[in-house]
């Protein structure tokens, strides 16, 4: 019999409606799994008492025959960069160790209204600034598939929690791939929505935003369920004000789907990753998709991404660090210093390059319905890799982690296009490989539909 903690969110919500599982049983099962897998260090804190109180209230509504929202009684967790009212939100930093927000972030408030039950906050590196599953406040998070490799970052704990059955769904944030990278490393699904589709009002610059809140789950259907709960317009967001921002879902088939296939992105791709992702695209073609190879040098945009990242961190976190440098990591201090030293002209040139990349994507979407690529150029890196150093791929020094390992993910943060990572196979060492799909602005629902078709197509390959 399948453990309750291993049920999908859709299955769990349906059983709760049928009264075959109670919200209390579901919450207790997830809390027990969290306790059993404390070795993975996926949570900065577990809100057990609060979750059980919410579960008992949810159970009363079930028994009273009330109309139930879509996620009623389903446990979930939230990355420690997203505000949760009355629950610590530390940003993975000693600077905010005792910070307790008064209000939920938009996505958290919407998940709550949809009936989801918060079981805790997930680990993240300090301010999510670096590709390392380690925080100076909470230590290292481990990959449940293989503890010798990274679970990815910065939504480290969220991906690990979902993969290990510590809740079927979670909310992550993505500032350069931080949902999609750990999803690929942990063999789960992670989606970065269109800019404004899920308002993220914690950001100080909503006009130049490149950080997104999105769903993580063990399958595409659950990710879509959570996405529907958290997406929608908000007049406080300059990109999410329209009454019908998101395009409605369409009937979609792989047959006739126009696919732009970016195999390299200007970077070296490890052989097994190249083979597995190419086989996935070949399977799409065999199902009738119209696949055309495309050559775009994503890696060359790393300096643009770094400029915006560094300046943004300097502006957002620099004032909090002043006089308290001993409390934060050296890599954060270095990043802030580089941001503060960046000339205004360089920043303006970076935003101009961002515009150019956006136009490149828009041109591609005149020819294609989706753009497909590997999520990462190589399988999960060793757990102790230096996130600020260079990496090797098959004996070749390929440069920095950002440019060499995830050149496929940060472009969509610069352009605002929706993208999703889903598993597409396993290496000979048993490590997961991710396939990324990207769609035009506000085609999030149709991107999820395509991803579900690809997931079904690849089910035999991935073993899922």
By annotation, the residues acting in catalysis are: 79, 154, 178
What is the sign of the dihedral through the CA atoms of 405, 212, 168 and 102? positive
Q: Which two tokens stand for residue 216?
A: 């993580």
Place of tokens 């010798």: 148
User: Quick one: which of 293, 302, 286, 306 has its CA closest to 264?
Assistant: 293
| 225 CB neighbour count, 10 Å cutoff | 24
Q: Please, which residues have CB within 8 angstroms of residue 210's CB and are 6 or more apart in sequence?
A: 175, 176, 308, 309, 312, 413, 414
Where does 137-254 show beta strands of DSSP type E? 139-140, 169-174, 189-192, 212-217
Place of tokens 């929706």: 418
| Alpha helix (H) residue ranges in 37-142 | 48-63, 106-113
Three-state DSSP at 285 gives helix
Cα–Cα distance list, 309 to 109, 159, 176, 296, 303 (Å): 27, 22, 9, 22, 10
CA-CA distance, 111 to 116, in Å (whole number)?
Answer: 6
φ, ψ for residue 459, nearest 5 deg: -55, -40
CA-CA distance, 325 to 429, in Å (whole number)?
Answer: 41
């Amino acid at each position: 019999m399948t453990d309750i903690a291993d049920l999908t969110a859709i299955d769990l919500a349906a059983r709760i409606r049928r009264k075959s599982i109670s919200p209390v049983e579901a919450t207790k099962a997830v809390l027990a799994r969290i306790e059993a897998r404390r070795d993975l260090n996926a949570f900065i804190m577990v809100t057990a008492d609060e979750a059980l109180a919410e579960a008992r209230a949810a159970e009363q509504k079930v028994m009273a025959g009330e109309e139930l929202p879509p996620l009623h009684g389903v446990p979930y967790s939230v990355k420690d960069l997203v505000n949760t009212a009355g629950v610590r939100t530390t940003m993975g930093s000693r600077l905010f160790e005792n910070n307790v927000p008064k209000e939920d972030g938009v996505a958290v408030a919407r998940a709550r209204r949809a009936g989801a039950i918060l079981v805790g906050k997930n680990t993240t590196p300090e301010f999510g600034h670096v590709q390392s599953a380690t925080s100076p406040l909470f230590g290292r998070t481990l990959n449940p598939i293989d503890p010798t490799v990274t679970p990815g970052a910065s939504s480290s704990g969220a991906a690990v929690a979902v993969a290990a059955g510590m809740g079927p769904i979670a909310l992550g944030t993505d500032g350069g791939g931080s949902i999609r990278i750990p999803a690929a490393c942990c063999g789960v699904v992670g989606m970065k929505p269109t800019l404004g589709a899920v308002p993220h009002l914690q950001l100080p610059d909503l006009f130049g935003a490149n950080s997104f809140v999105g769903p993580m789950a063990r399958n595409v259907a659950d990710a879509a369920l959570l996405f529907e709960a958290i997406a929608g317009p908000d007049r406080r967001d300059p990109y999410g004000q329209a009454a019908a921002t998101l395009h409605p879902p369409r009937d979609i088939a792989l047959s006739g789907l126009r696919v732009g296939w970016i195999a390299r992105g200007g970077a070296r791709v490890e052989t097994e990753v190249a083979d597995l992702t190419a086989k996935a695209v070949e399977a799409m073609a065999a199902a009738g998709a119209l696949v055309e190879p495309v050559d775009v040098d994503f890696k060359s945009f790393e300096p643009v991404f770094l400029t915006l990242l560094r300046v943004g961190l300097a502006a957002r976190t620099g004032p909090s660090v002043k006089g308290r440098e001993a409390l934060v990591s050296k890599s954060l201090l270095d990043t802030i210093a580089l941001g503060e030293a960046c000339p205004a002209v360089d920043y303006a040139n970076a935003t101009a390059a961002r515009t150019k990349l956006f136009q490149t994507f828009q041109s591609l979407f005149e020819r294609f319905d989706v753009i497909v690529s590997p999520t990462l150029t190589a399988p999960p890196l060793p757990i102790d890799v230096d996130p600020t150093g260079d990496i090797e791929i098959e004996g070749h020094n390929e440069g920095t982690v950002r440019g060499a390992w995830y050149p496929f993910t940060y472009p969509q943060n610069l352009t605002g296009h929706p993208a999703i990572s889903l598993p597409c196979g396993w290496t000979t060492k048993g490590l997961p490989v991710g396939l990324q799909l990207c769609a035009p602005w506000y085609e999030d629902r149709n991107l999820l539909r395509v991803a579900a078709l690809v997931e079904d197509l690849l089910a035999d390959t991935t073993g899922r």
